[in-house]
């Protein structure tokens, strides 16, 4: 789908791989081939996150925002949501950009672009 990158990091996000996660996520954006408007992180593998991982998520969100790209999270379980909230990241990401399922996140992108009528 033009303008959309869906990214999944298939390892628990922690201090040992936080920089690798961020680097690969940004690489997915730069190699997308078309301008990216939304970046959806499919977070099913990212349940238990440490402070370094939360910092990496915030830096990724900011890097994307600086490029005019909306950062969205999908498949966010309650434990991760609680960690995001405790780190004060929910307001920065935006409650309306956190989705329980990947299809609902993709549908939100499609609604925004007029592909689906509300």
Give the residue numbers spanning the domain of 65.
Answer: 4-112
Instruction: Tell me the pLDDT tens digit for each residue of 5-60.
Output: 999 998 888 899 999 999 999 999 999 989 999 999 999 877 778 999 999 999 99
Number of domains forming the structure of the chain: 1
**Domain contains 117:** no
Question: Rounded CA gap, 49 and 12, in Å?
Answer: 7
Q: At 70, which CATH number? A: 3.30.750.24
Predicted confidence band of residue 73 (pLDDT cuts 50, 70, 90): very high
* Residue 106 confidence (pLDDT): 97
DSSP 34: S
pTM of structure: 0.92
Report residue 86: phi and psi, to 5°: -60, -30
Q: Which residues contact 16 (CB under 8 A, 6 or more apart)?
A: none
Record the tokens describing residue 96, joined without a space: 């309306």
């Amino acid at each position: 789908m033009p303008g959309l990158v869906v990214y999944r990091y298939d390892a628990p996000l922690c201090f040992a791989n936080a920089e690798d996660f961020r680097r690969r996520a940004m690489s997915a954006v730069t190699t997308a081939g078309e301008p990216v408007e939304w970046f959806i992180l499919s977070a099913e593998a990212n349940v238990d996150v440490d402070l370094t991982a939360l910092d990496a998520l915030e830096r990724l969100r900011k890097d994307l925002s600086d490029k005019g790209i909306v950062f969205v999270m999908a498949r966010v379980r309650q434990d991760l949501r609680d960690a995001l909230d405790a780190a004060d990241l929910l307001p920065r990401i935006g409650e309306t950009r956190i989705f329980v399922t990947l299809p609902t996140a993709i549908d939100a992108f499609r609604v925004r672009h007029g592909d689906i009528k509300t």
